[in-house]
Chain A
Amino acid sequence: MKRVGIVVMALMLMLLQVGCTSGGNDNGKVELTYWPAANPVEVQFAKEVVKEWNAKHPNIQVKMQPLPASRSTEEVLLTSIAGGTTPDVCSNINPGAIGQFVEAGGLLPIDSIDGAMGEILKRTPKETVETFKSKDGHLYQVPWKGNPIMILYNKQHFREVGLNPDNPGLDTYSKFLAAARKLTRDTNGDGKPDIWAIAPNVEQTWWQRFFDFYPWYVAATEGKTLLKGGKADFNNPKGLQVMQFFRTLFQQKIAPQSTFKENLFVQGKVSMVITGPWALADIEKQAPKMEVGVMPIPVPDNMPAKLRITYGDPKNIAIFRSTQHPKEAWEFTKFLISKQNDVKFLKMTQQIPFRKDLAEDPSVQQYLSQKPVLDAFVRQAPYTRAIDDSNKITDVFDALSLEYQQAAVMGKKDPRQALSDAEKKVNEILQRSR
């Protein structure tokens, strides 16, 4: 009977073994895992880069796996830090979440790798690199790409309602609202609009505010973020103007109070969309005939209309502390941010790498001259702000998001009250985290 026991034990050991295989190297071969963002164009880019790398480096093989889909990348990464299943390299790191990852002890300080800082500073302006340093003075993320949030519009729609499609001049709130009223139309005569001027997401999900309240607030304040000195800093006249603007948009039925799961802009059902340059590749593919224009985020009426700062939505590259091969991981990262790949990235995904000499590249110049919309994003790129580096940033946005929904979307709360309630809540959250 002993034999049965041995067999069972052996089987169980085998089962346990299955779960524990990791970047092993039996013959000097190193295996790295790399997680890019899961959108189709970025996955395609990652595939090509990894293929080229693997062909050139038979001893350092990279395995690419798109970030598992979820409501947010941060949730996925934090769970994988806790579960010990982090990749070696990930290129979809939101600087606002770095605080949490660092606190979790999940990231490798990039400045501890020989030669890394020199390489990074050769590529990216020093001021940009500085903004990504953590509170402890270390750099835990390789600046990779910044995607300014702007407004794309359908030129055909603008023409139809008598707006200048090449220079609509909707740079202030009142001009924007007046034009938006014209753009929201009932084209088939059934008494309800079937083309909307704009359809900001009405969901409570915290990061949706990156595409409405936040870029508007950054633009209106010429570059302020939500927190200052560990306290909420958005309950001010500018914040109120932004809240009022969105309230008007929804109350006057210029924007629908609906949740949509499809891309209304490519379907021609909305005239404007608030987004980053990544949307361009998708539009080209799904609506190749659409004439697309781009404009900056509008600002309150009494503001000089010159400086337009917007939310930058940067995504950076991090190397996780769990890696067994930091040197090789950095070598791969270096390859990922090489000029050759930055140019390729811009052209393939229409997103903007943090590279100072990018526009000097003749092939990029030629490329951008044919892509005026992308060119506008590239020119906006230096004028961006990220979100505050706080380990409670999701809770901060969550609290603000709830008040935004009640005051702006549903119009059930006075905007002034909503802002001061959000401020109170945010300060409580920040207090608790200390």
Chain B
Amino acid sequence: MKGKRAGYWLVLPYVVFLLVFMAYPVLFSVWLTFHDWNLVSPDIPFVGLENYKRLLNDDLFFKALWNTLRFILINIPLQIGLALILAVALNQPLKGRGFFRGAYFLPVVTSGVVISFLWAWMLSTDDGLINGLLQKAGLHPVPWLTSETWAMPSIAWVAAWKNLGYYVVIFLAGLQSIPKQLYEAARIDGATSLQCFFRITIPMLNPAMLLVVILSTINGFQLFTEPYIMTGGGPANSSLSVVMYIYKNAFQSLDMGYAATIGLVLALIILSVSMIQKRLLEKDVTY
């Protein structure tokens, strides 16, 4: 009994932390969705479902949601494809393997703001590195960040490049947990490398794949730094993400109630999408 008491005391700091920094803000923001608050006014009038009604009629919210979906649809396949290729390559006994593993991880630990600035320069239409190379090859410059068509794909590429290393590490861990005997047995049966890859590696990587898909979807819905720095949400709101729209409502228009409403709806969207993904992918998981 004595020992048990001490245990409670020892977990208390974390429980307090959780209540103060997690539970209270979450409950407060749910409460806020029914109120109109400009962040600083002492009176916070109750508005009922007004914020939710406004959300349903807000074209800009749906545009931001659509932009974010576009981002995810480009970003995830790109990220997973590249990460998988790199992970398989880095799993081979190459020379300088440690260096490459470190090099691909470097962008993950670099500040997103710095990376956004760097890529904003490289993607600049008139004096950027990439258009310079394109023109040397006799091609036309592309307005990467200043056209409605290209802004979001460019951002999706930058985000994929930044986070690649993180997913490579997950895939590498997955690859190393595949028992060697499986490959040996397949070889004896006369399987080619390609057959090994598609029949053994890919199915055995399923748990890692599930993790990567869910994590990068959640990350994708939280897109903020790249468009905030690189395009400011433009041109013509074509790269405005949902989180940027929350930020704009909260800290530019001081509409905390509405911002909280969008935040809550976004959280529900992420929750349901993750559940669906889990259902779909878990079916094939082989442990």
Contacts and interface: CB of A to CB of B under 8 A. Distances in A.
Interface of A: 1, 4-5, 8, 11-12, 15, 71, 75, 78-79, 81-82, 100, 103-106, 190, 192-194, 196, 202-206, 256-262, 269, 392, 394-395, 398, 402, 405-406, 409-410, 412
Contacts of A409: 146, 235
Given A258-B124, A406-B235, A410-B148, 12 more contacts: A12-B12, A78-B39, A105-B42, A204-B235, A206-B252, A257-B146, A259-B230, A261-B117, A261-B120, A398-B248, A398-B252, A402-B234
B9 A259 contact: no
A105 B40 contact: yes
The binding surface of chain B is classed by DSSP as loop
Given A1-B6, A82-B39, A258 B125 contact: yes
Contacts of B128: 258
B232 interface: yes
Interface string B139-150: 001010111100
B129 to A, nearest CB: 13
Contact of A190 (B135, B228, B232, B251): B135
Given A1-B5, A259-B231, A402-B236, A8 B39 contact: no
A318 to B, nearest CB: 14
Given A4-B6, A105-B40, A100 B254 contact: yes
A410 to B, nearest CB: 6
Residue of A106, A204, A402 contacting most chain B CB atoms (<10 Å) = A204
A81 B40 contact: yes
A204 B9 contact: no
Contact of A405 (B12, B117, B145, B234): B234
B39 A104 contact: yes
Given A75-B252, A103-B38, A105-B42, A256 B236 contact: no
Contact of A5 (B9, B125, B147): B9
B127 A258 contact: yes
Nearest to A401: B234
B232 to A, nearest CB: 4
Contact of B232 (A5, A203, A258): A203
A100 B251 CA distance: 12
B127 A260 contact: yes
A80 to B, nearest CB: 10
Residue of B117, B232, B237 contacting most chain A CB atoms (<10 Å) = B232
15 contacts: A5-B6, A78-B39, A79-B39, A104-B39, A202-B146, A204-B237, A206-B252, A256-B125, A257-B146, A258-B128, A259-B120, A259-B145, A261-B120, A405-B235, A406-B236
